[in-house]
Amino acid sequence: MARIIAIANQKGGVGKTTSAVNLAASMAATKRKVLLIDLDPQGNATMGAGVDKYEVECSAYDLLVENTPFEDVVVTDTSGGFHLIAGNGDVTAAEVKMMEMFGRELRLKNALVNVKDKYDFIFIDCPPSLNMLTVNAMAAADSVIVPMQCEYYALEGLTALMDTISQLASVVNPELKIEGILRTMYDPRNRLANDVSEQLKHHFGEKVYRTVIPRNVRLAEAPSFGAPVMYYDKSSSGAKAYLALAGEILRRSEKTKAA
């Protein structure tokens, strides 16, 4: 059965979508069956997976609002070797429509019930705000990966995000936990980045991934070519970092099973 992991941060520009696409591709490269769900109306994860968000016949909107069968919504041909539920501007309308629905917080969870056995991992790219889409992701997920930059304001925002996740868990998903904190856009020459990194490790211990995602030009360029970085430049430090992250998550998973 799939492990469902939401990738979330209320702060934009922290590498959330980059992490969702490249982690999905890295897991798929290890021969795992992977689904990526793009719940961000900007549709950046969809474009980064080599799928034109303007051309897709169905999106997350159809899955959440129209009760369209999963098989009719899923895109199986992506540049990253994973399956995709696309996101685009229609997803904004989904949030509005869901507000009128009974059990609105559980729309995504219920839509995934019959397909969880088909995948090893399901990653959900959340919008950079706390709205009904994010609540649906948290209700459906087993855990949350929080990408963040090592800067002062990000540290403050992380505390608020942790409180939010705790509150959501108590209401919609008591099983929800923090999968890990991922340091992104990391520059080891920056003293503040190193200071914040040490504070993170002090406060959150093993929840902080050993793998750090560096500032990397190839990583920034890859989305404009509609491909995860490992298929754009597999020798880049960004590609190697996300493969290392996938390996770290798999090792943690095995350790948890054995415990």
- For the stretch 23-67, pLDDT in tens is 999 999 999 999 999 999 999 999 999 999 999 999 999 999 999
- DSSP H helices, the chain, are 16-29, 44-48, 60-64, 70-73, 90-98, 107-112, 132-140, 152-172, 191-204, 217-221, 229-232, 237-258
Instruction: Give the range among 42-46, 64-68, 139-143, 188-192 with minimum mean pLDDT.
Output: 188-192
Confidence of residue 169 (pLDDT cuts 50, 70, 90): confident
The CA-atom distances, in angstroms, between 109 and each of 60, 135, 150, 156 are: 13, 11, 32, 30
The amino acid occupying position 49 is A
Mean pLDDT of the chain: 93
Taking the whole predicted model, whether its pTM rises above 0.85 is answered as yes
CA nearest 223: which of 111, 124, 79, 89?
A: 79
Please enumerate in sequence order all residues whose Cβ is within 8 A of that of 253, keeping only pairs 6 or more positions apart, or say none: 3
CATH architecture of 3-258: 3-Layer(aba) Sandwich (3.40)
pLDDT confidence of residue 227: 97
* Whether the predicted pLDDT of 156 surpasses 80: no
* Whether the predicted pLDDT of 164 surpasses 90: no
pLDDT confidence of residue 8: 93
pLDDT confidence of residue 255: 78
Confidence of residue 7 (pLDDT cuts 50, 70, 90): very high
The DSSP bridge pattern shows strands 3-7 and 143-149 to be parallel
pLDDT confidence of residue 224: 94
Confidence of residue 154 (pLDDT cuts 50, 70, 90): confident
pLDDT confidence of residue 259: 66
Q: How far apart are CA 29 and CA 243, in angstroms?
A: 9
Confidence of residue 150 (pLDDT cuts 50, 70, 90): confident
pLDDT confidence of residue 207: 93
Please enumerate in sequence order all residues whose Cβ is within 8 A of that of 49, keeping only pairs 6 or more positions apart, or say none: 21, 24, 36, 75, 78, 79, 80, 82, 84, 226, 228
The amino acid occupying position 170 is S
Q: Burial level of 57, CB count in 10 A (0-12/13-18/19+)?
A: exposed
| Higher per-residue pLDDT: 238 or 128 | 238
